[in-house]
Chain A
């Protein structure tokens, strides 16, 4: 059977779905297998359907597919929700002793394991999910010793006894299946000697922030960005930093602004509704030329929308949000490892150009975990560029004839000198009002034009100085060009392979820079068909591209709250290309 296994556990929120899935994912990762997880959860603390899915292979995996091989079902709804993904080699593990008779189609294999009884035998009913993991190990011929390390990691702080009980629970599950079932379904989860780390996008953003020298974070909890704050809490302190849970998003961005003006690399993270609130101060951040990284982990909008569902609907807001005209950068990582590296870049852009940088991620990136070789996050590769910071010795070059610091000096590249508070003779005012070189309010028409041009000029400088590139996959000579941004990259990369098997060659550009962004004119002109793939209804990125190249493009939009799946995407692209061909 294929090396590629799709496993899931589902039940009600509060059933320990998340932690059980995580334990299995870690066990697979420790066994040197690639892991890609996805979560299906509702916006409630208890009850409702929730699932944790794992795709694992000895090859790299970077998307979900429409196939489920092993399903641990704690409720009937778990089976019902996944019916179309179950096939004749699928097994459903359930507990027939509970007060439900699992209903599943004939073609799949039901594995009835008394999860609760066996858990009680091991020391407590709470471990029933661990019994199920043991059962899954037996079905997949996966060595149960791999679970032990993950159980130690999870329960180590609760004492040796708890760890031992859990190990026992897993073994009881394994033995029960071995003794009572002679299964037709056949999986072999090979192990490798590779070492992998397993992390999600929010964690990668937090880790990238610390690596980049971020020392101050203020935020307000919001799905799906909260993991960033939870990651930084405690960890950032070890590097001399601090996290504040602010009273609201308005306070969060203003605290972050204050810390940035004091010289700290500073960040806040939120989701769309929080960006709405922060937009008031966003203009101030830009006009006062304060370096700040603002993370928007998008979810389904507008308004409260679907807080736990995927969407890429905030692009226009991050590009255009705020009154007046605001120079800003918008960077959107396309994979979990890029969440790390783009965060590092974001801090450098913010400080080199003294401007706010939106780091735009989406729910699918934020909550998905994926394995990477640890050297993917090689800290020696991290560069810190603080830009034009002056100190006691160099501040003199930037004083006017009366000894006043020209904090907003009208320079050729648009970037002014920056003096951290405490710098002797660097004292100056900054403001959201239009101001002169000294930071003092003005309504002088010439100064107004000079300062607006100066601030906008740094975007031009950045366009020239930085490499606003894209990531390219697929057949470089293909006539069909697919473009996307954000988390779609993973599914798209697998879709390329599926399409190739069907004889459809595509060239794929994954664009991590929204503003400034790469010039795609030549790529588009060289292609016969151009399709832009994104998780929103109106095609916000497609609009930008059409505007750039003055040419219509095809669009694949998904806005049901669910991320793209590789096979679904392959079908959509094939269908779009066929429609296009018929139209010609």
Chain B
């Protein structure tokens, strides 16, 4: 890692096709700043994303990257990290990607606790398919496919993470550039699965969960003197549901990432030219 990496080194020369004003610009800038601030460079960073507006992020960033299929980014990122624990792995997805089609993977990635950072760009709407309800849409949010609202409560991603045994849970807001980058930095530095739900407003299809709404309603946990290592307090804040928080809500300081628990420490790319020494013992076992 070189110490003189600038956040712009993580920028590709491809111009984003996100709508002007999209929250994803801020989300991505914060990710790039956080990567640079934590001493990473594009050659040791792997960014994985799925489908949708959020999925485009790997194209606009410069690093090793994979743009995968819808909802499966977490398993890919997990596999990358297992194969080479030296890499900085960041997985990005949207609310549909992470909490709908990929909800099962989310639960299991959380409980495995790989040392990766998971950024969900939560705009509470399906943007790229032009405005259908997402799993975090409000119960009464009217869309083309839910003219009377989804009529079912939204997923609480923080509670889902907590119940699955998360070791790091944070929430962020893409337009608060400074705080957002700080929170992602903390997630990167966390030894284990660093989960950040980022409010990343959709200016085209969501006229409820807007920049103004989040600016007015978000409570910064820093100002509340919240201790993120206090599980009870974190649990209450996540489950009470009457406020939207920003900041690190829960961090298990004892967290041991998957690769350390399981002794997966080698770069698996390094293999000999032929069968490794000791493989003949595998045959003898069948005597």
Q: Are B287 and A195 in contact (CB under 8 A)?
A: yes
Q: Which one of B30-38, B198-206, B249-257, B274-282 is at the interface?
A: B274-282
Inter-subunit contact A384/B273 (CB<8 Å):
yes
B284 A374 Cβ-Cβ under 8 A: yes
In the bound complex, residues from chain B placing their C-beta under 8 Å from that of A248 are: 104
- A240→B42 contact, CB < 8 A: no
Q: If the complex has contacts A263-B83, A428-B65, are A251 and B284 also in contact, measured as CB distance less than 8 A? A: no
* Most B-side CB within 10 Å, residue of A247, A251, A280: A251
- Provide the bound-state CA to CA distance between A248 and B71, in Å: 13
Q: Check if B67 is an interface residue, CB within 8 A of chain A.
A: yes
Given A422-B84, A429-B65, answer yes or no on A207-B77 (Cβ-Cβ < 8 Å): no
- Binding-face segment, A209-217, A297-305, A360-368, A524-532: A209-217
Per the bound structure, the CA–CA distance linking A212 and B68 in Å amounts to 27
Residues of A within 8 A of B276 (CB): 210-211, 213, 239
Q: For the complex, is A432 an interface residue (Cβ under 8 Å from B)?
A: yes
A258-B76, A380-B275 as given contacts; A284 in contact with B83, CB under 8 Å: no
List the B side residues contacting A509 at CB < 8 Å: none
Residue-by-residue, is B101-125 near A (CB-CB < 8 Å gives 1, otherwise 0)?
0001101100000000000000000
In the complex, B82 has a CB within 8 A of chain A: yes
* B-chain residues with CB within 8 Å of residue A457 when the two chains form the complex: none
User: Does chain A have a CB within 8 A of B59?
Assistant: yes
- A425 sits at the interface (CB 8 A): yes
A-B contact pairs, 18 of them (CB 8 A): A197-B284, A210-B279, A215-B83, A242-B268, A254-B68, A255-B82, A257-B76, A258-B77, A262-B87, A265-B271, A266-B83, A374-B284, A421-B80, A422-B267, A426-B64, A427-B63, A431-B58, A433-B67
Number of A-B contacts (CB under 8 A): 215
B58 touches A280 (CB 8 A): no
For residue A212, which residues in chain B have a CB less than 8 angstroms away from its CB? 275
16 further A-B contacts with Cβ under 8 Å, apart from A258-B48, A429-B59, are A197-B286, A215-B268, A240-B266, A252-B75, A254-B79, A258-B81, A262-B46, A263-B83, A266-B79, A281-B68, A383-B274, A384-B273, A422-B44, A427-B45, A429-B65, A432-B67
User: Among B43, B82, B105, which residue has its beta carbon within 8 angstroms of that of A244?
Assistant: B82
Task: Name A75-124 residues within 8 Å CB distance of B.
Answer: none
Return the contact of B282 from the options A198, A207, A421 (Cβ within 8 A). Answer: A207
A466 to chain B, nearest CB (A): 19
Cβ-based interface call for B62 (8 A): yes
Contact string against B for A residues 185-197, beta-carbon threshold 8 Å, 1 for contact and 0 otherwise: 0000000000111
Interface residues of B (CB under 8 A from A): 12-14, 42-46, 48, 58-59, 62-69, 72, 75-84, 86-87, 104-105, 107-108, 262-264, 266-276, 278-280, 282-284, 286-287
Known: A246-B75, A379-B279. A431 touches B80 (CB 8 A): no
Which residues from B are CB-within-8-Å of A431? 58-59, 66-68
Interchain CB contact (< 8 A) of B267 among A29, A252, A263? A263
Asked if A264 contacts B283 (CB within 8 A), the reply is: no
Instruction: Known contacts A210-B279, A238-B278, A374-B283; decide if A251 and B108 are in contact (CB<8 Å).
Output: yes
Bound together, the chains give a CA A157 to CA B80 distance in angstroms of 37
Counting CB contacts under 8 A, is A235 at the interface? yes
> Which residue of chain B is the closest to A149 with respect to CB atoms?
B287
Q: Which residues on the A side are within 8 Å of B64 (C-beta)? A: 261, 421, 426-428
On whether the beta carbons of B105 and A247 are closer than 8 Å, the reply is: yes
Which of B87, B269, B273, B280 has the most chain A CB within a 10 Å cutoff?
A: B269
Chain A residue nearest to B72 (CB atoms) is A254
Query: Bound state CA distance, A135 and B83, in angstroms?
Result: 52
With known contacts A195-B287, A247-B108, A431-B66, A440–B274 Cβ distance under 8 A = no
The 5 closest A-B pairs by CB, nearest first: A258-B79, A263-B269, A264-B268, A255-B79, A254-B75
- Would you call B77 and A379 a contact (CB within 8 A)? no
Quick one: which of A30, A216, A250 contacts B83, CB cutoff 8 A?
A216
Residues of chain B within 8 A (CB-CB) of A427 are 42-43, 45, 62-65
A443 vs B280: C-alpha distance in the bound complex, in angstroms? Answer: 51
Question: In angstroms, how far is the closest chain A Cβ from the Cβ of B81?
Answer: 8
Nearest CB of A to B234, in Å: 25
Tell whether A203 is near chain B: CB-to-CB under 8 Å.
yes
In Å, the complex CA distance between A425 and B272 comes to 24
Taking the nearest CB of chain A, how far is it from the CB of B285, in angstroms?
8
Beyond A281-B72, A374-B284, is A218–B66 a contact (Cβ under 8 Å)?
Answer: no
Q: Is A430 an interface residue (CB 8 A)?
A: yes
Query: How does the 8 Å CB contact mask read for A277-310 relative to B, with 1 for contact and 0 for none?
Result: 0001100100010000000000000000000000
Residues of B within 8 A of A241 (CB): 268
Nearest-CB residue, chain A, relative to B62: A427
Tell me which residues across on chain B come within 8 A of A247, comparing CB atoms.
104-105, 107-108
A420–B42 contact, CB under 8 A?
no
User: CB-CB < 8 A to B81: which residues of A?
Assistant: 258, 262
Closest residue of chain A to B265, judged by CB? A240
A379 vs B274: C-alpha distance in the bound complex, in angstroms?
8
**Cβ of A258: which chain B residues have Cβ within 8 Å of it?**
48, 66, 75-83
Contact A377 B264 (CB under 8 A): no
Q: Is residue A179 contacting chain B, with contact meaning CB distance below 8 A?
A: no
**Is the beta-carbon distance between A240 and B268 smaller than 8 angstroms?**
yes
A537 at the interface (CB under 8 A from B): no
Q: How far is the CA of A420 from the CA of B264 in the complex (A)?
A: 18
Check A421 against B87 for contact (C-beta < 8 Å). yes
The chain B residue with its CB closest to the CB of A382 is B275
- A217 CB to closest chain B CB (Å) equals 10
B residues near A424, Cβ cutoff 8 Å? 43
- The interface residues of chain A lying within 8 Å CB-to-CB of B83 are 215-216, 258-260, 262-264, 266
- Interface contact A379-B280, CB-CB below 8 Å: yes
Closest to A426 in B: B43
Q: Given A197-B287, A251-B108, are A263 and B84 also a contact pair (CB < 8 Å)?
A: yes
Contacts of B275 in A (CB 8 A): 211-213, 379-380, 382, 384
**Assembly CA distance A501 to B271 (angstroms):** 51
A448 in the interface (beta carbon within 8 A): no
| Complexed CA–CA distance, A112 and B64 (Å) | 70
